[in-house]
Structure 1
């Protein structure tokens, strides 16, 4: 499995820890985020992640910024992206099972690093349920 990851300056610490976790799970990682703390524009790092997931070059994506809102809003501009801004593992699980979320957006300033790592594990290990949720997913794109 290949994961694309991106972040702005608020998410660098979390991203580095998440990459370590993903590699320990023997997952391939494409890192599009900044590795520093200097202020950057999150959209510059979101679009490459969304494009990888949209094209199938990555199976899933993870985005991190201070609130999680900016990265989620930007990613969801891409037609085939379902980015879910999540605050705990229960929401992550439901986003995967019911909404087939393909990008996890994390709010680094509002969750702890251990929470973020647990959320990533849940995101990777939870599958879409399909069934009644499939027809709902099919109605998301604007025609």
Structure 2
């Protein structure tokens, strides 16, 4: 299914709410996952970036990577040390086993943080993500 075949909304306003405390849009499930499942190139400028966002969107990322998708991201400098280290590791094509040895305290990370950092490093190492 291509981009034109999906029933996209005209806009996705994450600031609106349905009920008190309930967002009007689930931006991840309604926009990002379907988008990533259909594209092969994704360019984005982000004020900040966290590897956990990759983990959350992993269902879409799997399809994106399987189609040899390429992502380019320009992110603000507000990144965690773990994310910076994952990017450095990926740029040097260090596999997951070396990432585990180099990053101390990994056993204390929440599972979603661990998956996000590993996915971030893997995507950089395999040419699916260029980040500046």
TM-score, normalisation: structure 1: 0.27
Q: TM-score, normalised by structure 2?
A: 0.29
